[in-house]
Amino acid sequence: MTCKKIFEVKDLSKSFGKLEVLKNINESIYEAEVVCIIGPSGSGKSTFLRCLNLLEKPTSGKVFFEDVDISDKSIKINKYRQKIGMVFQSFNVFPHLTVLENITLTPVLEKKVSKEDAKNDAFELLKRVGLFDKRDEYPTRLSGGQKQRLAIVRALAMKPDVMLFDEPTSALDPEMVKEVLEVIKDLAKSNMTIVIVTHEMGFAREVSDRILFMDEGIIAEQGTPSEIFDNPQNERTIEFLGKVL
């Protein structure tokens, strides 16, 4: 593993009103690493992930992306977000745009890629996830699994340095979970840096380089998949894994 840090989080805290969701977190994500974040609901996993691209503003602490403090208020955050892909639980594809337009919109508008190049890139990506035939459809015609695959390639079209996945399969029907996980696995093999919040323990074990177990706003334990799943040390980790495995 290389040592280049993609993300570095320093003393990160986040509160919603009186509720303290993240408590003084210090953590780094390294290049080409696949990190899965697991833990009970309400433990702050999603909030932590959303702090990485500043969809949630930290209450205190700093977030560095490739050595730039992106939590600095004077920074143009959308320039950095272009390099940080994100996939949501609820897909959030754009319903008023076709599959192709969903993908090409941002590269053309924000990266000034020519329409022709954007379209060719999009075709490549759509072929990769088996959606090429659907390129001119509107998302209402797609199944949940297809929408999520579209959301993934829409993010990839920006050629990001890292991909964040926020429970990407939680809103899917069981038979569609696999097709989405396959796409993420392929991505992991291509050396993409990936951070995933997930409840799919089997998948987390298979794909991760490192697992973070979060509980009550802190990273309670972390390690390789076999350390976490076969030999957990923290009492809360043991309790949690006992319930879900």
Partner 1 sequence: MVETVIDLWTKYDYVYINGLLGTIYLAAITVFIATIIGTVIAIMKLSEIKIFDFITALYIGVLRGTPILLQLYFFWLVLPKITPFELSDTVCIVIALIVNASAYVAEIIRAGIQAVDKGQTEAAKSLGLSDANTMKKIILPQAIKNILPALGNEYITMIKQTSLASVFFVGELMTSYKTVQSATFLAVPSLVIVGIIYLIITTILSKGLNIFERRLRLNDM
By CB under 8 A, tell whether 99 contacts partner 1.
Answer: no
SS3 at position 222: strand
By CB under 8 A, tell whether 142 contacts partner 1.
Answer: no
> Is residue 183 within 8 Å of residue 194, measured between CB atoms?
no
Is 180 or 220 the residue whose CB approaches partner 1 more closely? 180
Report residue 16 as tokens. Answer: 């919603």
Stretch touching partner 1 by CB under 8 A, among 72-80, 121-129, 197-205, 214-222: 72-80
Number of residues that bind partner 1 (CB under 8 A): 28
Q: Residue 131 Cβ, how far from partner 1 at the closest point, in Å?
A: 17
By CB under 8 A, tell whether 190 contacts partner 1.
Answer: no
By CB under 8 A, tell whether 151 contacts partner 1.
Answer: yes
By CB under 8 A, tell whether 158 contacts partner 1.
Answer: yes
By CB under 8 A, tell whether 143 contacts partner 1.
Answer: no
Report residue 208 as tokens. Answer: 């991760």
Judged by CB under 8 A, the residue of 24, 78, 143, 233 near partner 1 is 78
Site for partner 1 in 3-32 (CB under 8 A): none
Judged by CB under 8 A, the residue of 14, 45, 134, 154 near partner 1 is 154
105 CB-near residues (< 8 Å, 6+ apart)? 94, 97
Question: Could you give the CA distance from residue 133 to residue 98 in angstroms, rounded to a whole number?
Answer: 12
Q: What are phi and psi of 11, to 5 degrees?
A: 50, 40
Question: Could you give the CA distance from residue 9 to residue 34 in angstroms, rounded to a whole number?
Answer: 17
CB atoms under 10 Å from CB of 244, counted, come to 10
